Structure 1
Amino acid sequence: MEAITFPNGQITMAGSLYRPDGFDPDGTYPAVVVVHPGGGVKEQAAGLYAAKLAEQGFVALAFDASFQGDSGGEPRHLEDPYARVEDVRAAVDHLQTLGFVDPERIGALGICAGGGYAVNAAMTDHRIKALTTVSAVNIGTSFRRGWYGTDSDAAAVPTLTALAGQRTAESARGAEAAYLPYVPAEPDENTPRDLVEAGDYYLTPRAQHPNAGNRFLFTRSVSRIFTFDAFHMVEDLLVQPVLVVAGSEAGSLWMSTELHGRARSPKKLVLVEGGTHMDFYDVPEYVGRAIAEAAPFFAEHLAGASADRD
């Protein structure tokens, strides 16, 4: 693994570039951009998947989102879906500058909200030739309708009303910026199982990282998140083959099945019996199953006329 930086407009992005065993700098390899979950960093699930893909012969790039982790951008702790989609495009830009990456054989794999961001990027960036989502989350829809998707979009209105008051307090009255947690630090009996498990992942030595501070700006993030729909026009704009991997016990499963149901491109849904949302972040059995599906999927769909140059 090599720590790298690459440009994204005026922002300098920080990434981890993983190369296959026996890497030949004069060779040409297929590559995969790995997109981390909301609140994550490249040292967590995204880096794990990138390392596993490199073991399967791919160049893989995990990176920190702009405004987060080791990447640049102000204000810090901004979760901007539109910026995160642009981050994916910038990662593809960088891979295409590497002489050992075949520019016609680049895929994307996204985990949780990173899955939704990867889908949205692929719809408008056809340099991405194949797509895999793992425990996919459409962050805007999830924020509006709740983790289980049982609320209406209008359920977001009270939060937007509170947001308006907070923005006035910050901009006109000098109040301190307000933050929200990605996962609840003190779950209760009403907390979804997946989010309880997310706390065990992000907030304990299991995967805790100093760059993953479990907070995002309330006013500037939520106003962007609530209007975002990662799957908007997916029926018409997603033309690449897509592999959707999710656990049968994940509360987020409805977003994976929605994506699979709406996509018209070549598609495959893999439901892993007994798996929860968070199992696919670092539990060997479930990560192994996801990689066992993703590696041959990418090998098939990133093959092409230039593959004989490897």
Structure 2
Amino acid sequence: MEAITFPNGPISMAGNLYFPADFDPKGSYAAIVAIHPGGGVKEQAAGLYASKLAEQGFVALAFDASYQGDSGGEPRHLEDPAARVDDVRAAVDHLQSLDYVDAERIGAAGICAGGGYAINAAMTDHRIKAITMVSGLNIGTSFRRNWFGTDPDSAAVPTLQALAQQRTAEAQGAEPAYLPYVPAEPDENTPPDLVEARDYYLTPRAQHPNAKNKFLFTKSVSRIFTFDAFHMVEDLLTQPVLIVAGSEAGSLWMSTELHSRVRGPKKLVVVDGGTHMDFYDVPKYVDRAVEEATPFFEENLASQS
């Protein structure tokens, strides 16, 4: 693994580049961009998937989102879906600049919100030839409709009203407000997946000093609530997509929705017993996702020579 930086306009992006064990810098490799969940950093799930895909013969790049982790950008702790999608494009730019990467053989693998961002990026960047989404989350839809998707989009309005009041306060000198990605103190109403998310992000299980479990309220929510990672997916996503999710994940509805809407080559794998968070680091489930992703990428990123 090599720690790298690469440009995304004025922002310097921080990434970890993973190589196959028999890597030859004079060779020509298929490459994968690994996109981390909302609130995550490259050293967590994205890095784990990148390392495992490298073991299967791919060059793989995990990176911190702009405004987060070791990447640059101000204000800090901004979750901006449009910026997150542009991060993926910048990562493809960098991979295409590497002599040992075949520019026509680049794929994307995203976890949770990173999966939604991967789908959205691929719709408008057809340099991405194949996409794997693991425990996928359409972040805007999830924020509006709740974790289980049972609310109407209009349920977001009270939060937007609170956002307007907070923005006015900040314009008049108040300190910026932040929200947690996962509940620090779950209660009986907290979805089981998010209870487990707390265990992942806020305990030694996967805690990392760059994953602060906070994002800017006004500047992030106003962008997230109007974002739909799957908008126009029926017409713009022509690349093959692999969707992997757990049967016990409260987020499963987003994976099944995407699968129902995609018109191009697609495969949905629902792993019995798996929760949303199991696919972040539990070996049984991560290995199953990689076992599905490896032949999928091998087939769809095959050399044309």
The answer, yes or no, to whether TM exceeds 0.5 is: yes
User: SS of the counterpart of 1:41?
Assistant: coil
Q: Which residue of 2 aligns with 1:195?
A: 194
Cα deviation per residue 1:187-218 (whole Å; 9 max; x = unaligned)? 00000000000000000000000000000000
Q: Distance in 2 between matches of 1:103 and 1:3?
A: 21
Count, aligned residues: 305
Q: Distance in 1 between matches of 2:67 and 2:199?
A: 24
Q: Which residue of 1 aligns with 2:68?
A: 68
User: SS of the counterpart of 2:17?
Assistant: strand
Q: Which residue of 1 aligns with 2:262?
A: 263
In structure 2, what residue type is equivalent to 1:231?
F
In structure 2, what residue type is equivalent to 1:124?
T
Q: Shift in Å at residue 250 of structure 1?
A: 0.1
Q: Distance in 2 between matches of 1:276 and 1:40?
A: 18
User: SS of the counterpart of 1:42?
Assistant: coil
Q: Which residue of 2 aligns with 1:20?
A: 20
Cα deviation per residue 1:120-164 (whole Å; 9 max; x = unaligned)? 000000000000000000000000000000000000000000000
Q: Shift in Å at residue 305 of structure 1?
A: 1.2
Q: Distance in 2 between matches of 1:87 and 1:19?
A: 21
Please list, as runs of the form range in 1=range in 2, the aligned pairs for 1:281-296 lying within 5 A after superposition: 281-296=280-295
In structure 2, what residue type is equivalent to 1:101?
V
In structure 1, what residue type is equivalent to 2:50?
A
In structure 1, what residue type is equivalent to 2:76?
R
In structure 2, what residue type is equivalent to 1:195?
L
Alignment RMSD? 0.4
Q: Distance in 2 between matches of 1:177 and 1:27?
A: 49
User: Under a length normalisation based on structure 2, what TM-score does the superposition of the two structures give?
Assistant: 1.00
Stretches of structure 2 lacking an aligned partner (at least 5 in a row): none
In structure 2, what residue type is equivalent to 1:257?
T
In structure 2, what residue type is equivalent to 1:189?
E
Q: Distance in 2 between matches of 1:79 and 1:110?
A: 16
Q: Shift in Å at residue 304 of structure 1?
A: 3.0
In structure 2, what residue type is equivalent to 1:264?
R
Q: Distance in 2 between matches of 1:131 and 1:147?
A: 23
Q: Distance in 2 between matches of 1:300 and 1:193?
A: 36
Q: Distance in 2 between matches of 1:265 and 1:14?
A: 33
Q: Which residue of 2 aligns with 1:87?
A: 87
The 4+ residue runs of structure 1 with deviation greater than 3 A are: none
Q: Distance in 2 between matches of 1:215 and 1:72?
A: 17
Q: Distance in 2 between matches of 1:51 and 1:110?
A: 14
Q: Shift in Å at residue 300 of structure 1?
A: 0.3
Stretches of structure 1 lacking an aligned partner (at least 5 in a row): none
Cα deviation per residue 1:101-136 (whole Å; 9 max; x = unaligned)? 000000000000000000000000000000000000
Q: Distance in 2 between matches of 1:15 and 1:93?
A: 13
Q: Which residue of 1 aligns with 2:113?
A: 113
Q: Which residue of 2 aligns with 1:3?
A: 3
Q: Which residue of 2 aligns with 1:123?
A: 123
Q: Distance in 1 between matches of 2:219 and 2:236?
A: 28
Q: Which residue of 1 aligns with 2:214?
A: 215
In structure 2, what residue type is equivalent to 1:160?
L
Q: Distance in 2 between matches of 1:27 and 1:176?
A: 52
Q: Shift in Å at residue 167 of structure 1?
A: 0.1
In structure 2, what residue type is equivalent to 1:129?
K
Q: Which residue of 1 aligns with 2:77?
A: 77
Q: Which residue of 1 aligns with 2:228?
A: 229
Q: Shift in Å at residue 41 of structure 1?
A: 0.1
